[in-house]
Amino acid sequence: MSIGTILLIVLILLLAGALPLWPHSKKWGYYPGGGIGLAVLILIILLLMGRI
């Protein structure tokens, strides 16, 4: 497993944890999920370009 694959798995898990599904996180809106989703998107682009 390369470092890029490990980072991708960790970021996907963080994205799943940031979804506003629990009562305490419903007032957060989409900010946490959007930020982590953006990080996952950037990581995927870097992986496809061969930079990681």
Higher pLDDT, 15 or 48: 48
* Cα 29 from Cα 42, distance rounded (Å): 22
Helix, strand or coil, per DSSP, at residue 9? helix
Q: What is the pTM of this model?
A: 0.53
DSSP 8: H
In this predicted structure, the answer to whether residue 49 has a pLDDT above a threshold of 80 is: yes
29: its two tokens: 């809106």
pLDDT of 7-42, one tens digit each? 778 877 877 776 666 676 667 766 766 777 787 788
